[in-house]
Amino acid sequence: MIVYAALITLSLAWIALILAAPGLMAERHPLASATLYQGFSAACHQIPERSFYFRGYPMAVCSRCASIYAGFVVGLLFYPFTRDLREDSFPPRWILIAAAIPTVIDFAGGVLGLFTNTFLSRSLTGILFGVVVAFYVTPGLVSALNDWRAALAKPKANC
């Protein structure tokens, strides 16, 4: 339950920061806004033509990245209805691969000039991938926490 609550909190804070960059610019706080945009530039290309706008300014990440993050939150919200929050086993790996394929095709098709991807294609493929990723990150962190607790509970050998 701790892992789940932390994931929800951190994910919502991440999205709030994505929205804060244009929000701060709209409120005439360019230094704070630029700091956030710069921080997110490590994770995203931030091409304005490929970004959703909030309060008249592009969000701190592109539409695909924003959709992946939003999808992740949606996946987290559905997670407890489909799996036990204490479960530390992963779903079959093929599900994650299958969820990534549409995003890869959409990205590669655009880069290779085979077709033009759109806000809709980037958003839908991003949401799908983000939802599924939540079902791998959550048990992964639960497993890491369980391993950490087990290591703390082991008696130390005397030297």
Give the model confidence (pLDDT) of 55-70 as tens digits. 999 999 999 999 999 9
For the stretch 4-30, pLDDT in tens is 999 999 999 999 999 999 999 999 999
pTM: 0.91
The angle subtended at Cα 149 by Cα 80 and Cα 74, nearest 5°, is: 20
Instruction: Scan for tokens 């709209």, then name that residue.
Output: 26
Cβ partners under 8 Å of residue 64, min gap 6: 50, 103, 106, 107, 122, 123, 125, 126
C-alpha distance from residue 130 to each of 28, 40, 51, 99, 152 (Å): 32, 18, 17, 9, 33
The domain locations on the chain are 2-149
The answer to whether the beta carbons of residues 76 and 11 sit under 8 Å apart is yes
User: CA 136, CA 95: separation in Å to the nearest integer?
Assistant: 10
